[in-house]
Amino acid sequence: MSDDKYLNRFFTLYPDWDFSKPEEDQKPFHWYASSFANWQTGDDLFGVLKELHGADKRCGYHPPSANVFMVPLASDVKYKIRNYEPDVEGLVYIGKVTWPEAKKKKGRKS
């Protein structure tokens, strides 16, 4: 799927964003997404989802979906993970992302 199609399918949510303040003065947060095979974090939701989907494809599995969370901490803060999600006070579950179905490889005709 092209980047343009991803941009049309996903949106970025910025909780508690105060448009009267510059970006460096906003409350820190980052995104966390996990499937049963991998996890990914970052400041850009689109980038996190794209990297996670790529990692899921490269691992040889095809997890059908991933869960997305907004973590109310800076991206460099360490925290525990329990049951595939951050163990953090104030964690916000954003939702489930369903990956496109894996393309079946065509076999050779003999």
* pLDDT tens digits, one per residue of 32-66: 999 988 999 998 888 999 999 888 888 777 778 89
Tell me, yes or no, whether 106 lies in a domain: no
Tell me, yes or no, whether 18 lies in a domain: no
Tell me, yes or no, whether 61 lies in a domain: yes
Which candidate, 11, 31, 2, 33, places its Cα nearest to that of 100? Answer: 2
The domain in which residue 58 lies consists of 3-11+26-98
List, for residues 8-27, the tens digit of each pLDDT value.
444 445 556 677 877 777 78
Tell me, yes or no, whether 40 lies in a domain: yes
Tell me, yes or no, whether 109 lies in a domain: no
Residue 52: φ, ψ to 5°: -65, -45
Structural domains counted in the chain: 1
